[in-house]
Structure 1
Amino acid sequence: MKETSSSVYQFLARDRSAKGKFRVRDSGVECSQGVVFHAVDSMGRLTILVPLSTSEVGFVDWNSKALSLEFKSLEFHNELSPFLILQCTDDKLDSQFALLSDEVLDAIELEPTQALRATLSILDRWRRLFESDRPGILGSAQLAGLLAELSILERLVTSHGPKALVTWQGPNGNRHDFVLSECSIEVKATTNHNNMVVTIHGSKQLLAPENADLYVHAFQMEPSPEGTSVPEKIADLLALGVDRLDLLTKLDGAKYSDAHSKIYRSIRFSPMMDKAYRVGSTFPRITAETVYPPEVLEQLSNVSYSVDLGQLQSTPLDLALLHFQSVGGR
């Protein structure tokens, strides 16, 4: 099994190179012009070095908020050799850059005779994510909610494979967190030890989709140093084969920035209980179906209310039996 870029960079970062030099390690991937290297410079910046032929060298002077790309001749085996140098210039995004590095290496491994094109193609896909404005730091309650959503996603991916990521539609602006053929699922989390009271936002969040059921899947969690963090759950999903960029893009839509992952690793939760509830005719809710006249909801704003799920009968929901339509993806 190929070592991850993250672990290689951690090893290289233990010692600093001399100014103007790189500390390098063979990535285990070769292209037509030689070995591709992981590298860390004297300032600790994570780097990928892709060897090139002289004919491929061109003029590049490109920088974004967190990435630098340039052609440069480096001394290698006592002679100057041309390289494409892709570097992370913001250490807060080191873990994100490590995932980008993995993707670059995978692409070069598939097209070793087209290493430059493969690298630039991957960079073009990832560039927007590195340039996007970073959201603020999420609070404990927000992280608990995100961990709950990722836990449902992990179960779907385990049952249906990596393409189940397409069912996670909350970050895309859908009113429900997960959308499948037979139903939609709204995920809620509470860190209250004493009850399963969850907050509902708006008059449409518990409005069932047309010709499909709606479930609320609620998690009761407690903060615990032995628990699981959001970055760890993300790593679990990546290990299951979920596309790196697609997952990070979804997380960006959920206001999660990898730049804060070092902080988030220390915020952990242990599950106490999780149950699903079908939103049927007896489920307490405020929607156009339960308010008369329904038009009055259009005149209200910032509707928010709490539901005590502990007073309701849960409904078994086997995620392995659900279906969804895969769109795109790899």
Structure 2
Amino acid sequence: MPARSKSEFLFDALVSERIESNNEHSMTTGVESEFGQIRCFHKPENGEIGLIIPCSQQQYERFKPDKKSSAIHLTRLLIGNDPQVRLSLREPRQAKVFYLFVDDLLSKLDEKPKNSPYAASMCLDNWRRFFQTSSDRGLTPEEEIGLLCELEVLRALLRNGETEAVERWVGPNLQHHDFEFADFSIECKATRSSTSLTISVHGAEQLIPTANKTLTLVVRKYQSDPDGSLSIPRLCEQIVAEGEISVAAFMEKVRLLGIDPWDPLQLDLFSNYNPLEALEFEVADGFPAVDLHDNDHRITNVQYSIDLAGASTIPGFKETPTYLV
């Protein structure tokens, strides 16, 4: 079952309520501002959902509505003597991103309930880019399984208590290795071949340890399957659900790859896979690699393949994998 955000449960419960009219209805989020409870609302007549944020008359008068994004609006409304600021989702296809945004906003408002309208405005500024239409070029099969492996390792790091794993995931930033920590690096490789265990290396430095760090090579074999248990959107949802991570930072890195797993219109771009073999090596003396002598940095575009068949006989083989099982 896919992971779901906290606010998704709230809005699902609200939308599924049985009501006898098309009038707007609402329910509490469990978070309070300095002027009352923050509520989520639903308008059955047009399907609009959003948040109601109570505010003071002074905050209401100073507040500047924000309609810069067509998908989401931040406006003000005076109902009787009750001033409020409203966050409204205008594009239902952006619901997945909206739920994650609301989770982040409610968390911030729960920690600092003062001047909630300003906090909502600042939070929207930080998230606005995720409500823009993204590229739909898709990934090649090789790029897709490579990213699957990186995401599996990222999930494992988070589950092992590496709280900086998202920040340390530097593959999307085109660094030499996929993960760079203070004292170790990780490089991820994947293959779909059913008859071999060959990986492709791109760049002279991909299998060279950084400074005095240890370098672990993680290799995963995948099998394409329409009913497979793994896909990029599923892994992204699971990572978001892991807990104390910066969701915005994670989404930003995924989008650097030119994809948007949270856009329902892009779901057909992703395939499903089953995970098969998982191997790990410590890349050190004796591990097969190309040794280049290029002090003047004249050699460019180095690419080669390594056959990892008979993995247990290769120097650096780890009997027990650390990151994948």
Q: 1:233: which partner in 2?
A: 235
Q: TM-score, length-normalised on structure 2?
A: 0.80
Which structure 2 residues correspond to residues 69-218 of structure 1 after superposition, within 5 A? 69-74=74-79, 79=80, 81-131=82-132, 133-134=134-135, 136-218=137-219
1:179 is displaced (CA, Å) by 1.0
Name the SS for the 1:112 alignment partner: coil
In 1, Cα distance between the equivalents of 2:145 and 2:194? 14
Looking at structure 1, the residues matched to 78 and 292 of structure 2 have their Cα atoms a distance apart, in angstroms, of 70
The CA deviation at 1:316 is 4.7
Provide closer, same or farther for how the CA distance between residues 105 and 317 of structure 1 changes in structure 2, counting only shifts above 3 A: same
- Of the three residues 260, 274, 278, the one matched with 2:278 is 274
Q: Confirm or deny: 8 A CA contact 2:134 2:260 kept in the other structure.
A: no
Unaligned runs of 5+ in 1: 321-330
TM-score, normalised via structure 1 length: 0.79
CA distance 1:92–1:137, shift in 2 (3 Å): farther
Residue 37 in structure 1 maps to residue 42 in structure 2: no
Q: 1:180 to 1:50 in 2, by over 3 A?
A: same
8 Å contact from structure 1 (residues 199, 304) kept in 2 = yes
Deviation at 1:89, TM superposition (A): 3.3
8 Å CA contact retained: 1:71, 1:84: yes
Distance 1:255 1:16 in 2: 41
Moved over 6 A (4+): 15-20
Aligned partner of 1:47 in structure 2 is 50
- Matched with 2:256 is 253
Residue 61 of structure 1: how far off its partner (Å): 4.2
SS at match of 1:298: coil
Q: Which has the higher helix share?
A: 1
Change (3 A) 1:153 1:174: same
Cα 1:235/1:300, change in 2 over 3 Å: closer
What is the CA-CA distance between 1:161 and the residue it aligns to? 4.1
Please say if residues 16 and 44 of structure 1, whose CA atoms lie closer than 8 Å, have aligned partners that are also in contact: no
Task: Write out per-residue CA displacement over residues 129-183 of structure 1, whole angstroms, 9 at most, x where no aligned residue.
Answer: 4348445333444332222112111221222243332321212332210112333
Match of 1:27 in 2: 29
The alignment partner of 1:62 has SS state of coil
RMSD over aligned Cα atoms: 3.3
Q: Is the 8 A contact 1:171 1:253 kept in 2?
A: yes
Letter in 2 for 1:59: K
Instruction: Say if 1:274 and 1:6 are closer, same or farther in 2 by CA, change over 3 A.
Output: same
Quote the Cα distance in structure 2 between the aligned partners of 1:199 and 1:19: 61
Letter in 2 for 1:73: L
**Cα deviation per residue 1:75-133 (whole Å; 9 max; x = unaligned)?**
xxxx4633212233333332111011011111222223332233223223323443484
Structure 1 residues 44 and 143: CA distance shift in structure 2, 3 A: farther
Deviation at 1:231, TM superposition (A): 2.7
Structure 1 residues 282, 222: closer, same or farther in 2, change over 3 A? same
| Segment of structure 1 superposing worse, 267-276 or 228-237 | 228-237
Q: How does 1:289-300 map to 2 (within 5 A)?
A: 290-292=291-293, 295=296, 298-300=298-300
Distance 1:112 1:188, change over 3 A: same
Alignment CA distance shift 1:17-1:48 (3 Å): farther
Query: Counterpart of 2:307 in structure 1: which amino acid?
Result: D
Deviation at 1:278, TM superposition (A): 2.6
Q: Secondary structure at the match of 2:108?
A: helix
User: Closer, same or farther in 2 for the Cα pair 1:171/1:21, shift >3 Å?
Assistant: farther
| Distance in 2 of aligned mates of 1:18 and 1:305 | 67
Determine if contact 2:27/2:40 at 8 Å carries over to the other structure: yes
8 Å CA contact retained: 2:218, 2:281? yes
Distance 2:231 2:36 in 1: 39
Q: Secondary structure at the match of 1:204?
A: coil
